[in-house]
Amino acid sequence: MDFIVKANLKRGDNYSLLKLAPVKGNMPQVKPGQFVQVEVPNSKSTYLRRPISINYADSHELWLLVRRAGAGTASLCNAPESSVLSVVLPLGNGFTTDVKGTALLIGGGVGTAPLLMLGSRLAAHGVDVHFLLGARSMGDLLQLDLFRQTAEVHVATEDGSLGHKGLVTTHPVLRNENITHIACCGPMPMMKAVAAIARERGINCEVSLENMMACGLGACLCCVEDTKDEGNVCVCTEGPVFNINRLKW
């Protein structure tokens, strides 16, 4: 599906928020936690599409929050307004939205992106939503205003420039005994540490993996994760969101 870049908003030195609209027709229905595969425009050194999580979507708009990590994402971050991007969507399973009680949505770095939509969906269903957002520094915390409009926000920065000083896993909100559900997206060490805490406390926990992908459609079998029930499964089709009980970590 072709999308036109309506706006490309720089966020700090390393991030761009791309606001896209379909060239023709409406956006398909999207679940929080699903992702897209974007063709990289005008790139000499990359070959494959880039999987990017969906930050926000409605019937006529799609937001992608892109971190400049390599040549492909750098090219996406520089996509000019009015240019056209080829996007395959929606892909993957998404987060569970059938949640009751208190949900803690934990995001690290650009991993916060899919939690915004999840939080607003859960809040609309009457779930008590808390965000716990972590980053190296204040400048890496993105969309704080939107998160704050959606639910209560807790912040951890490694340098202490905003909120709790330290990793998200040391934030006092994790000791809130009312938490019944955790959804987490961020760097692998963070997700593993959160999963260990959830397991210890007996809290239902989902994580969103970002294994390297080629096709995004379950055909190439490159992005596999080892599971307890079925061995290697594709993160692109069986995930990217997994309940930690399925994973071997």
Site residues (CB under 8 A) for other proteins?
39, 45-49, 86, 88, 211-226, 231-232, 237
User: Shortest CA distance to 178 belongs to which of 132, 129, 116?
Assistant: 129
CB 149 within 8 A of CB 173: no
Cβ nearer to other proteins, comparing 49 with 67: 49
Q: Per DSSP, what are the bridge partners of residue 155?
A: 133
Q: Minimum distance between the CB of residue 189 and other proteins, rounded to whole angstroms?
A: 15
Cβ nearer to other proteins, comparing 31 with 130: 31
Handedness of CA 75, 25, 91, 32 (dihedral sign): positive
82 by Cβ neighbours in 10 Å (0-12 / 13-18 / 19+) ranks as exposed
Q: Minimum distance between the CB of residue 214 and other proteins, rounded to whole angstroms?
A: 5
User: Shortest CA distance to 213 belongs to which of 240, 192, 245?
Assistant: 240
The DSSP annotation for 106-149 comes to EEEGGGGHHHHHHHHHHHHTT-EEEEEEEESSGGG---HHHHHH
Tokens for 38? 């974007």
Q: Minimum distance between the CB of residue 158 and other proteins, rounded to whole angstroms?
A: 21
Q: Minimum distance between the CB of residue 96 and other proteins, rounded to whole angstroms?
A: 23
Q: Minimum distance between the CB of residue 243 and other proteins, rounded to whole angstroms?
A: 19
Cβ nearer to other proteins, comparing 94 with 107: 94
Cβ nearer to other proteins, comparing 178 with 212: 212
Which H/E stretch holds residue 34? Answer: none
Q: For residue 177, what are the contacts with CB-CB under 8 A and spacing of at least 6?
A: none
Q: For residue 131, what are the contacts with CB-CB under 8 A and spacing of at least 6?
A: 104, 105, 106, 107, 112, 115, 119, 147, 150, 151, 152, 153, 154
Distance (Å, whole) CA 171 – CA 194: 11
Q: Minimum distance between the CB of residue 78 and other proteins, rounded to whole angstroms?
A: 19
Cβ nearer to other proteins, comparing 9 with 217: 217
Cβ nearer to other proteins, comparing 52 with 103: 52
Q: Minimum distance between the CB of residue 138 and other proteins, rounded to whole angstroms?
A: 27
Cβ nearer to other proteins, comparing 18 with 233: 233
